[in-house]
Amino acid sequence: MKLLHVIKSVLPVIFRRMLIMGSLFFFIVSSLLAVDISLAGEVTVISNIKAWQHPVKEILNKHKVILYKVELHNKTYAIFYVRFPYDPRLVHNDKYFKPLYYETLKANGFWNYSFIDRSFQSRINITWDKKSKTLGESLDDINY
């Protein structure tokens, strides 16, 4: 009889602990999934470049850059898929690229952006520091 009483008194405690642990597990999993979804964000793809009207397009045409596609991430971060006439990895081409980066930044409303040129396997990330009013650039090699 005592054993049955002990089992009856312990069973609700074990059940409560399992319920709490299960709820905690589901909370953690759902939180991680929510973070994944929010990091993915919204992407708008513009592939009909002929119909696309934007000041950046004029700058790229002026600099003889071929534009294939634009991805707009979360309505503010643009990734321009392009073909440059010169290799962005070579320092002696800076006289060409520095004005291009700044003019594109200005035409893009000083929002950060990236260029991807698959022919040179490069991704160029352009940032604007609002406080110091300076342009930052980083170049990454890509293999896709």
pLDDT tens track for 4-53: 565 566 556 665 565 455 454 544 444 444 333 444 589 999 999 999 99
Nearest to 82 by CA among 55, 63, 110: 63
What is the 3-class SS of 21-63, one letter each residue?
HHHHHHHHHHHHHHHHHHHHCCEEEECCCCCCCCHHHHHHHHC
Percent of the chain with pLDDT over 70: 72
Report the alpha-carbon angle 70-72-77, nearest 5. Answer: 115
Question: For position 37, what pLDDT does the model report?
Answer: 40
Tell me the pTM.
0.71
In this prediction, residue 36 carries a pLDDT of 38
Q: Predicted confidence band at 143 (pLDDT cuts at 50, 70, 90)?
A: confident
Residue 130 pLDDT level (bands cut at 50, 70, 90): very high
